[in-house]
């Protein structure tokens, strides 16, 4: 795997300015006078604000991106220092929490003061989007803005279409996260063994991810099952890893707020032949997908390449076979049979074929690789999974 | 600190049944025919579903809690195995992502099939709440339900009033998380030193938290500054710890999905006298707050005890001096001058006084302890912070 180029933390003013210019051009094309942003990834993308404080539901955070001029952050006082740091945005604060008016009057003032030739405010209304503020307040905001001849419309697709093309700097961050995981995975067969619970294995793996360069480990899945696993999204449990199990480790590490997302399979002792066959099938599907990845191919073509390679049995109930990755673990668009969006250089994709295990009663096998679309094809960001399922020790007492 | 009692992972059927019965009684009192839940903490509380997959914004998840009978999970197929595991809820699935109808028709069918004497559906509309689904879909859902004579009303306070009183089992989980952090903090002076960046320090501390028993480390703040820090919510940066700095470590670890939340201050080498004075002031405020914690006191009384102890300078722009803690990092209610809610046995509180450093140009000191309210007072869950600021080595080369 090529080493990633030098990278720097944070979002430079040049990068933020380029995003702003691109957004403002799209806003004018779409007759949107301002974007109203409330969620972590979109706020980060336009301001550089990076914080784990989104875990606290108490306070809403608003960023207004006008179609001309500087973004305005309308935020709780507790965030003033962090938002003022890079000097890129104007900052308006209120002493939150203030439930009787949690920033709404401040926000209305900012929104009604912008230049507004079209009377439309774009917000996070559409698929895969959430408005992160109390709906009671959002309803009130919509009504108040109506009195000012302003209508809130969906800007979800505009935001998705911007964020799906990653800059060199963004790709570097995802790649560093992928490399941290790859280095950690090399040590997993010597770290994980039968007799550990999923929880114990997961904590050991998170420690390895951090040791090898991940900043954060928000999404590390360790699920197991006899024959194979039937769940790939649950928190690890106290289930004890047992010879004959399959274990899936799916992550979800971050570097500077950017996610990598790929998984690895481990057999505890030796896998059954039908499991090895399922693994071979998803490996073959991955090969087929990779051959199809290039600018101009459609997302549904990548799906078709995988389902053709696997035959009618394809997909273990996941609902798609991959997606975009970036500031969020999963981003638009999906690798789905109905997705006609075309691949472009700079997109970062998780390619994730799954297949049921024969007579497996819901057990399935899924594998996942991460790639960036280049001018003439793709470059792997994950170290490609072994062609045969790697094995962790089935002897419960051989390691601590 | 007393060792916590034996605890078990997950939510027992007895515990889930008790929550359901309590909710259904409150729903009937409030003329609410069903709760519609879409967010991690509320879905977990009523179903036991525990997953990091909430990081993926692609799919909405719905749980309907009727005022009589079993909860119904209306969820993407990918979650069927996890939701079916404990047998507590009925499960309806759709093959998400399906943007043209992402579960809405299934959800409407479930909501219109419940017994509905009052015609009101309670949802997460109010302060500190978010509806986690596209607002376009929520608007459509509201309109469709109107045609069925169903109105969506706010059930935020009902949910908050339930969740604020923790069961023995919930308190045990928070306490185990607090103990993991306490054990880790004892090792921090030997682990962190001048010359490290905030990022490096933060990763080392996360590894310690995991080693000592935390399952997850979603919220670990490491922010520093000369004299003292002026930000307590940002992601750690590449700022290098330097003699004369103060470092605040605020967390945010989880055990079985339950947060602990308390912070610790470290001086790099020796703090300035005015910083030591600010630390003494917040320690004194904590003493005053603890004396006031007992059933029947109001949240605003706890605030008043702290601000009286510190005088007019109290509070460094945080907006409150503490809050409830549980399935979320910060929960209702706040320790705020206007909060009249009364303390009850079983509430878990973070007591968090802050004060500006004299002539500190925005620098402040904040300390935080976590307690559970008992029948006659409180019990500390965090190991009380030292009365004098602990020091980490100012010699950059003394440790690796």
Residue A316 confidence (pLDDT): 64
pLDDT at A43 over 80: yes
Q: How far is A357 from chain B (nearest CA, A)?
A: 15
Does B59 share its domain with B198?
no
Interatomic CA distance for residues A304 and A285, integer angstroms: 10
Residues 208-267 in A contacting B (C-alpha not used; CB under 8 Å): 210-211, 214-221, 230-238, 252, 257
Interatomic CA distance for residues A295 and A347, integer angstroms: 9
Residue numbers in B near A328 (CB within 8 A): 55-57
Does A235 share its domain with A343?
yes
* E-state strands within A293-341: 322-324, 331-334
List the single residue in B52, B96, B319 with the smallest CB-CB distance to A95. B319
Q: How far is A53 from chain B (nearest CA, A)?
A: 6
Interatomic CA distance for residues B54 and A149, integer angstroms: 36
Angle of helix B104-113 relative to helix B135-147, nearest 10 degrees, comes to 40
CATH number of the structural domain spanning residue A267:
3.90.230.10
| Structural domain ending residue among the three candidates A125, A146, A163 | A163
List the single residue in B with minimal CA-CA distance to A133: B130
List the single residue in B with minimal CA-CA distance to A335: B97
Instruction: Report whether B152 contacts A155 (CB < 8 A).
Output: no
Residue A5 confidence (pLDDT): 55
List the single residue in A with minimal CA-CA distance to B214: A203
Residue numbers in A near B197 (CB within 8 A): none
| Residue A400 forms part of a structural domain | no
pLDDT digits (tens, 9 = 90+) for B325-337: 999 999 999 999 9
CB–CB contact A231 B82 (8 Å): yes
pLDDT digits (tens, 9 = 90+) for A262-275: 999 999 999 999 99
| Structural domain ending residue among the three candidates B140, B163, B186 | B163
Residue B123 contacts A where some CB pair is shorter than 8 Å: yes
| Residue A1 forms part of a structural domain | no
Q: Is B2 exposed, middle or buried (0-12, 13-18, 19+ CB in 10 A)?
A: exposed
CB–CB contact B135 A127 (8 Å): no
Interface test with B, best of A60, A75, A81 (most B CBs within 10 A): A81
List the single residue in B with minimal CA-CA distance to A219: B52
Residue A55 contacts B where some CB pair is shorter than 8 Å: yes
Average pLDDT, chain A: 95
List the single residue in B with minimal CA-CA distance to A218: B218
Question: Which residues span the domain enclosing A223?
Answer: 168-392
Q: Find the angle CA(B20)-CA(B50)-CA(B85) to the nearest 5 degrees.
A: 75
List the single residue in A with minimal CA-CA distance to B237: A9
CB–CB contact B127 A99 (8 Å): yes
pLDDT digits (tens, 9 = 90+) for B53-102: 999 999 999 999 999 999 999 999 999 989 999 999 999 999 999 988 99
CB–CB contact A135 B123 (8 Å): yes
User: A331 has which bridge partners?
Assistant: A324
Question: Which strand ranges, in their side-by-side order, compose the sheet holding A72-76?
Answer: A90-94, A72-76, A62-66, A34-37, A120-123, A151-154
Does A335 share its domain with A233?
yes
Does B177 share its domain with B125?
no
Q: How confident is the model at residue A319 (pLDDT cuts 50, 70, 90)?
A: confident
Take residue A154 and report the two structure tokens written for it: 């969906």
Take residue A77 and report the two structure tokens written for it: 């006082």
Instruction: Report whether A289 contacts A257 (CB < 8 A).
Output: no
Residues 336-395 in B contacting A (C-alpha not used; CB under 8 Å): 336, 362
pLDDT at A118 over 90: yes
Residue B138 contacts A where some CB pair is shorter than 8 Å: yes
User: B248 has which bridge partners?
Assistant: B223, B265
Q: Provide mean pLDDT across the span B143-159.
A: 98
Residue B5 confidence (pLDDT): 55
Nearest CA among B355, B159, B156 for reference residue B265: B355
Backbone angles phi, psi at B128, to 5 degrees: 65, 10
Spatial neighbors of A21 by CB under 8 A, at least 6 apart, are none
List the single residue in A129, A319, A328 with the smallest CB-CB distance to B77. A319
Measured from the Cβ of residue B372, the count of other Cβ atoms closer than 10 Å reads: 21
Count of pairs with CB atoms under 8 A, one residue in A, one in B: 223
CB–CB contact A154 B136 (8 Å): yes
Residues 72-101 in A contacting B (C-alpha not used; CB under 8 Å): 76-82, 85, 95-99
Q: How far is B111 from chain A (nearest CA, A)?
A: 20
Q: Provide mean pLDDT across the span B160-164.
A: 98
Does A300 share its domain with A218?
yes
List the single residue in A80, A126, A136 with the smallest CB-CB distance to B136. A126
Measured from the Cβ of residue A228, the count of other Cβ atoms closer than 10 Å reads: 28
Q: How confident is the model at residue B399 (pLDDT cuts 50, 70, 90)?
A: very low
CB–CB contact A215 B233 (8 Å): no
CB–CB contact B97 A319 (8 Å): yes
Angle of helix A40-47 relative to helix A156-163, nearest 10 degrees, comes to 60
Interface test with A, best of B39, B104, B128 (most A CBs within 10 A): B128
| Structural domain ending residue among the three candidates B106, B141, B163 | B163
Q: Answer yes or no: pTM beyond 0.90.
A: yes
pLDDT at B391 over 50: yes
Spatial neighbors of B303 by CB under 8 A, at least 6 apart, are B320, B321, B322, B335, B336, B337, B339
Does A218 share its domain with A147?
no
Residue numbers in A near B53 (CB within 8 A): 219, 233-234
Distances (CA, A) of A276 to A163, A232, A384, A388: 37, 18, 17, 8
| Residue A7 forms part of a structural domain | no
Instruction: Report whether B253 contacts B217 (CB < 8 A).
Output: yes
Residue A59 contacts B where some CB pair is shorter than 8 Å: yes
Compute the Cα dihedral for A6, A8, A11, A14 and give only its sign: negative
Q: Provide mean pLDDT across the span B34-53.
A: 98
CATH number of the structural domain spanning residue A103:
3.40.350.10
pLDDT at A2 over 50: no
Q: How far is A384 from chain B (nearest CA, A)?
A: 23
> Which residue is associated with the tokens 């054990």?
B183
Q: For residues B139-153, b (16+ Cβ closer than 10 Å) or e, as one string?
A: eebbebbeeeebebb
Average pLDDT, chain B: 95
Does B111 share its domain with B216?
no
| Residue A398 forms part of a structural domain | no
| Residue B234 forms part of a structural domain | yes
- Structurally, chain B folds into a number of domains equal to 2
Number of residues assigned to chain A: 400
Residues 154-173 in B contacting A (C-alpha not used; CB under 8 Å): 154, 156
List the single residue in B55, B136, B328 with the smallest CB-CB distance to A218. B55
CB–CB contact A52 B319 (8 Å): no
Residue B134 contacts A where some CB pair is shorter than 8 Å: yes
Residue B2 contacts A where some CB pair is shorter than 8 Å: no
Does A32 share its domain with A128?
yes
Interatomic CA distance for residues A35 and A199, integer angstroms: 42
In sequence order, what DSSP letters do the residues of B210-251 get, joined into one string? HHTT-SEEEEEEEEEEESS-S-SSSPP-SPBP-TTEEEEEEE
Does A178 share its domain with A99?
no
Does B187 share its domain with B144?
no
Interatomic CA distance for residues B82 and B91, integer angstroms: 10
Residue numbers in A near B124 (CB within 8 A): 135
Residue B135 contacts A where some CB pair is shorter than 8 Å: yes
CB–CB contact B58 A99 (8 Å): no
List the single residue in A with minimal CA-CA distance to B239: A9
Q: How far is A6 from chain B (nearest CA, A)?
A: 15
Residues 262-301 in A contacting B (C-alpha not used; CB under 8 Å): none
Residue B234 confidence (pLDDT): 95
pLDDT at A354 over 80: yes
Lowest mean pLDDT among A94-103, A376-385, B26-35: A94-103
Spatial neighbors of B225 by CB under 8 A, at least 6 apart, are B231, B245, B246, B363
Segment holding B27, helix H or strand E: helix B13-29
Assign B150 to helix, strand or coil: coil
Q: What is the interface pTM, i.e. ipTM, of the complex? A: 0.96
| Residue B397 forms part of a structural domain | no
Distances (CA, A) of A399 to A185, A223, B296: 17, 21, 53
What is the four-CA torsion angle of A79, A82, A86, A87, rounded to 10 degrees? 30
Interatomic CA distance for residues A261 and A369, integer angstroms: 8
Residue numbers in A near B156 (CB within 8 A): 134
Compute the Cα dihedral for A226, A232, A233, A235 and give only its sign: positive
pLDDT digits (tens, 9 = 90+) for A321-353: 999 999 999 999 999 999 999 999 999 999 999
Residue B394 confidence (pLDDT): 83
Q: How far is A314 from chain B (nearest CA, A)?
A: 14
Residue numbers in B near A124 (CB within 8 A): 135
| Residue B43 forms part of a structural domain | yes
Residue A400 confidence (pLDDT): 39
| Residue B383 forms part of a structural domain | yes
Q: Provide mean pLDDT across the span B297-307.
A: 97
Interatomic CA distance for residues A94 and A104, integer angstroms: 10
Lowest mean pLDDT among B5-9, B298-302, B348-352: B5-9
CB–CB contact B127 A133 (8 Å): no
Distances (CA, A) of B266 to B31, B128, B263: 51, 31, 10
Interatomic CA distance for residues B349 and B335, integer angstroms: 9
Interatomic CA distance for residues A68 and A28, integer angstroms: 9
Does B126 share its domain with B223?
no
Does A31 share its domain with A130?
yes
CB–CB contact A135 B138 (8 Å): yes
CB–CB contact B199 A215 (8 Å): yes
Interatomic CA distance for residues B380 and B178, integer angstroms: 10
């Amino acid at each position: 795997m090529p080493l990633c180029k030098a990278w720097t933390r944070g979002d430079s003013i040049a990068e933020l300015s380029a995003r702003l210019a691109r957004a403002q051009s799209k806003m004018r094309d779409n007759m949107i006078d301002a974007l109203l942003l409330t969620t972590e990834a979109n706020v980060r993308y336009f301001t550089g604000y990076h914080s784990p404080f989104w875990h606290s539901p108490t306070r809403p955070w608003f960023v207004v991106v006008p179609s001309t001029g500087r973004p305005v952050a309308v935020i709780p006082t507790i965030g003033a220092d962090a938002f003022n740091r890079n000097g890129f945005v104007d900052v308006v604060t209120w002493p939150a929490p203030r439930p009787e008016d949690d920033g709404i009057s401040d926000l209305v003032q900012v929104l009604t003061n912008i230049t507004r030739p079209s009377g439309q405010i774009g917000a996070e209304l559409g698929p895969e989007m959430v408005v992160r503020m109390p709906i009671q307040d959002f309803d009130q905001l919509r009504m108040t803005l109506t009195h000012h001849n302003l209508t809130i419309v969906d800007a979800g697709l505009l935001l998705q279409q911007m964020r799906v093309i990653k800059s060199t700097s963004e790709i570097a961050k995802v790649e560093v996260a992928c490399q941290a995981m790859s280095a950690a995975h090399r040590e997993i067969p010597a770290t994980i063994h039968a007799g550990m619970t999923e929880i114990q294995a997961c904590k050991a793996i998170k420690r390895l991810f951090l040791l090898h360069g991940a900043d954060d480990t928000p999404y590390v899945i360790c699920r197991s099952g006899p024959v194979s696993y039937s769940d790939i999204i649950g928190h690890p449990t106290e289930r004890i890893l047992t010879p004959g199990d399959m274990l899936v480790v799916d992550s979800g590490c971050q570097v500077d707020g950017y996610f990598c997302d790929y998984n690895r399979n481990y057999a505890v002792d030796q896998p059954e032949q039908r499991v090895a066959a399922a693994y071979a099938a998803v490996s073959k599907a991955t090969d087929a997908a990779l051959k199809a990845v290039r600018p101009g191919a459609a997302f549904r073509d990548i799906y078709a390449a995988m389902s053709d390679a696997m035959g009618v049995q394809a997909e273990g109930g996941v609902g798609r076979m991959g997606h975009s990755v970036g500031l969020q673990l999963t981003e638009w668009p999906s690798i789905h049979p109905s997705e006609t969006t075309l691949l472009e250089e700079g997109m970062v994709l998780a390619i994730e074929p799954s297949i049921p295990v024969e007579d497996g009663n819901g057990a399935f096998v899924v594998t996942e690789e991460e790639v960036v679309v280049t001018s003439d094809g793709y470059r792997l960001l994950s170290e490609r999974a072994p062609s045969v399922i790697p094995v962790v020790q089935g002897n419960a007492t051989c390691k601590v």
